[in-house]
Chain A
């Protein structure tokens, strides 16, 4: 039986195998993903992001427990950095969550970034789709520890929670662009620390400056002590509120359209590149072109135009007026 069928029947091993095939870029995974795609679109996808050491994994562990208490099945995609030097990685997010390992209603998968920027792995979207098709109710995506600019999570998750900790910087840090613009909810974790009030105030001030229009979502700032489970019930309540907000407005359609646009355009770009590149590598045109550019006999712009003209002619694209 094909992997996709076994996955639709809820088989854990088959799911795990396909996730690996996707992450390793195996060609066989594409056929399975084609079969699974029509079954996607049911799960609620929750993003958890924030700087390294903010407590994302510990909070994720508590959030898993809260959804399990409601009887919902929870899948977790936990992403950690891959070494740019060796390609190796230590994926340690499980350490905080492995008490759920023997619960059949929880599936935790660790991924390395494998050179991808943006806080996720290249495979994350497809991996979420597999869990979605396999019938997992809640899919939590925990990003790598992010700095300021890794915001891919908003395209993947319905609700993005940004986890901060006290003492990360002054109010100027809080008005810079980046991850602080993407949160649907903010959590100041480790809120039993003395400077927690300051962190909450700085975030609230930054958010007030955004001033969302009437009826729009206003991101709340919550306090948590994830390790002790404090503030988790309130967090889940706010996540519910945001989910209800999304469903009751045209936001969810916009989200789906943005997500579909991104997926399609990424695939188109990757496939065009990969096909042309494979062809010119094999024919030797790539080496010749690069040598000519290095010798200044050819400029890189004309080189790309020539190669594209030669390859796009084969596709027979209809004229667009």
Chain B
């Protein structure tokens, strides 16, 4: 009877107002059988981390098109640590230049998906790398 279902937060931090990509990814997560909590637009890192903890998600995914990725990703990771939830992984995507990716991964981001990635590839990565907590 007990069955863990994967819970993922899909968040749109920062000031860009385009969430079509985030919605498509959320929809494809739903179709993969995951429970997706969508926060809506223009969320601060504080709001995202608070939602992640209250919702007990297995990962935080963020879509960033504004160019602020080098600030927002590390800030969310730092806040998760501060709030006692350092084990919640963070991944994401958006318009992120290739040269910024190594720095983000070094800062603790699990994976970055750039434009053109298929939803299937994202789902497969999630299934292989994100697991419901014990």
> A residues bordering B, Cβ < 8 Å?
12-13, 16-17, 19-20, 24-27, 82-83, 86-92, 94-96, 98-99, 101-102, 107-110, 112, 114, 274
In this complex, the member of B1, B37, B48 whose beta carbon has the largest number of chain A beta carbons within 10 angstroms is: B37
Selected from B2, B3, B5, B43, the residue in CB contact (under 8 A) with A98 is B43
User: B19: nearest residue on chain A (CB-CB)?
Assistant: A95
Please name all residues of chain B whose beta carbon is closer than 8 Å to the beta carbon of A91 when the two chains form the complex: 35-38
> B residues bordering A, Cβ < 8 Å?
1-5, 7, 26-27, 29-40, 43-44, 46-48, 50-51, 53-56, 83-85, 133
User: A20: nearest residue on chain B (CB-CB)?
Assistant: B56
Which applies to chain A's interface (DSSP): helix, strand, loop or mixed?
Answer: mixed
Taking the closest CB of chain B, its distance from the CB of A33, in whole angstroms, is 14
C-alpha spacing A172/B35, complex, angstroms: 38
User: B30: nearest residue on chain A (CB-CB)?
Assistant: A88
Taking the closest CB of chain B, its distance from the CB of A277, in whole angstroms, is 10
Please name all residues of chain A whose beta carbon is closer than 8 Å to the beta carbon of B48 when the two chains form the complex: 101
- Given A16-B56, A98-B39, A108-B54: A88 in contact with B4 (beta carbons within 8 A): no
A88 touches B55 (CB 8 A): no
B35 touches A88 (CB 8 A): yes
Please name all residues of chain A whose beta carbon is closer than 8 Å to the beta carbon of B1 when the two chains form the complex: 25, 274
- 25 pairs across A/B with beta carbons < 8 Å? A12-B53, A16-B56, A20-B56, A24-B5, A25-B1, A26-B2, A82-B35, A86-B32, A87-B5, A88-B30, A88-B33, A89-B35, A91-B35, A94-B51, A95-B39, A98-B39, A98-B47, A101-B39, A101-B43, A101-B48, A102-B46, A102-B47, A108-B51, A109-B55, A274-B1
C-alpha spacing A298/B5, complex, angstroms: 38
Taking the closest CB of chain A, its distance from the CB of B78, in whole angstroms, is 15
Taking the closest CB of chain A, its distance from the CB of B119, in whole angstroms, is 13
C-alpha spacing A12/B51, complex, angstroms: 11
C-alpha spacing A142/B5, complex, angstroms: 22
C-alpha spacing A107/B38, complex, angstroms: 16
A94 touches B39 (CB 8 A): yes
Please name all residues of chain A whose beta carbon is closer than 8 Å to the beta carbon of B2 when the two chains form the complex: 24-27
Please name all residues of chain A whose beta carbon is closer than 8 Å to the beta carbon of B32 when the two chains form the complex: 86, 88
Please name all residues of chain A whose beta carbon is closer than 8 Å to the beta carbon of B5 when the two chains form the complex: 24, 87, 112, 114
Please name all residues of chain B whose beta carbon is closer than 8 Å to the beta carbon of A274 when the two chains form the complex: 1
C-alpha spacing A16/B36, complex, angstroms: 16
